[in-house]
Homo-oligomer: A and B are copies of this chain.
Amino acid sequence: MTSNGTSDSVSQFDDATAVVGGGEGTITGRIHDGWDIGGNANGGYLLALAANGMRRIADRPDPVTVTAHYLSPGAPGDVSIAGEVVKRGKRFTTVSGAMFGDDRRIIQVLGTFGDLGGEAPRGLAVVHGTPPSLPPIEQCVLRSGNPALPTPLMDKLDVRLHPDHARYASGDPRTGVAEMAGWFSFADGRTIDTLALLLIADAFPPAVFNLDIPAGWVPTVEFTVHVRATPAPGPVSCVFRSRFVHGGMMEEDGEVWDGNGTLVALSRQLALLPR
């Protein structure tokens, strides 16, 4: 299941989401250092690690719809992943599970796994939506390695933001619209598969950074990703929007599109505003 476009070594993402065990035994893995933003492991990374264990339990390769509730921060270190198959059907297997750190439960996950076949979707298609309108990758703003925003995660990811949406980081006037769009690749060239989509759907700066509101840590309560197809090779284009910021909460809706113009993932999260 590993793939690496640049060398024979295991990709950083495969290394950081590796799990051992399965079948009747316990599944273990490790939250790797450097997949955090300000010390908190990224929520998409935590979900990808847990889902990598849970798809072993499901014995089906693709996370078709996965929901995580975030219970405590993911500190680097060993984790165990436990899950119960609550239904095994002809097409899908549903697993209820959790990932545990040393002394506490980090995330609770409910997922349905299937086999998307590794191909572009076929059959009926009625799509009212288009990939985000983005300049070519080389005209977008590389988020990785911005010295003003130490985000170890971003050294592993090649996230290139729409120039208008990157203004929050430069001090230029923000757009005033909670939209964040850009291109995503892995820095080491790893192929984007369905597991990686769980990371990607939480790998961009929050869309609300482009509003004129106080910035701050925005903890995720709940995060759901629908994986709709296996991405074609190459970078994906992504857009994230928050339309409803009120009552101390906000949603963030994401779309991930492959180079063939296929919507490959839809995501939504519920997050809290600072009180």
Contact = CB atoms under 8 A, between A and B. Distances in A.
Interface of A: 64-65, 67, 69, 71-72, 86-87, 92, 94, 96, 98, 105, 108-110, 112, 116, 121-129, 177-178, 208, 211, 213, 221-222, 224, 226, 228-229, 243-249, 251, 262-263, 266, 268, 270, 273, 275
Counted per complex, copies of this chain come to 2
A247 B122 contact: yes
B110 A94 contact: no
A72 B127 CA distance: 29
B87 A71 contact: yes
A226 B243 contact: no
Given A128-B178, A263-B244, A72 B96 contact: no
B224 A224 contact: yes
A98 B112 CA distance: 15
Given A87-B72, A112-B222, A244-B228, A65 B270 contact: yes
A86 B110 contact: no
Contacts of A126: 178, 208, 211, 213, 245-246
A139 B3 CA distance: 58
B246 A112 contact: no
Contact of A124 (B65, B105, B246): B246
10 closest cross-chain pairs (CB), A and B: A121-B247, A125-B246, A126-B245, A65-B222, A71-B87, A67-B67, A110-B110, A128-B243, A129-B243, A121-B246
Nearest to A91: B272
